[in-house]
Amino acid sequence: MAKLKRLISIDLSLNLLTGTISGPVIASMKNLKVYLNLSSSFLIGKIPNELGKLEMVQVIDISNNNFLGNIPISIQSCRNIQSLDLSQNKLTGIIPEDFGNMLTLEHLNISFNQLEGCTR
């Protein structure tokens, strides 16, 4: 995957992918402009901070996996993101307030996790 530097979109959803997402591999795909879809597989571990290096991507869907831990703050660096789906994982911690600074974000789905926060 690391050699696919010219990809503008990738959809590997609904597969039997297992293991973790490699931060360096994600960082090497900085030309992604349309979408990254790794949903509905068997991925585990933490969401890598390098996801924030996909500054131009419009859609990230890594829902319906087994990701653990916090939502990385680095996601706010995805300045063109319109849709972010992290639902149906095992994410914990506080919902980042920085989501409010993502001016292009139109769709956010973080349901079916164990996240905390307050509504004001």
DSSP 48-85: PGGGGG-TT-SEEE--SSEEEEPPPGGGGG-TT--EEE
Q: Nearest Cα to 79, choosing from 28, 30, 12, 26?
A: 30
Number of domains comprising the chain: 1
Determine contact, residues 35/62, Cβ cutoff 8 Å: no
In a domain, 53, yes or no: yes
In a domain, 18, yes or no: yes
Q: What percent of the chain has pLDDT over 90?
A: 81
| Confidence at residue 82, expressed as pLDDT on a 0 to 100 scale | 97
Enclosing domain of residue 106 = 10-113
Cα 3 off chain centre by: 21
Structure pTM?
Answer: 0.93
pLDDT digits (tens, 9 = 90+) for 7-62: 899 999 999 999 999 999 898 888 999 999 999 999 999 999 999 999 999 999 99
Establish how many alpha carbons lie within 13 A of residue 114's alpha carbon, considering only the half-sphere containing its beta carbon: 7
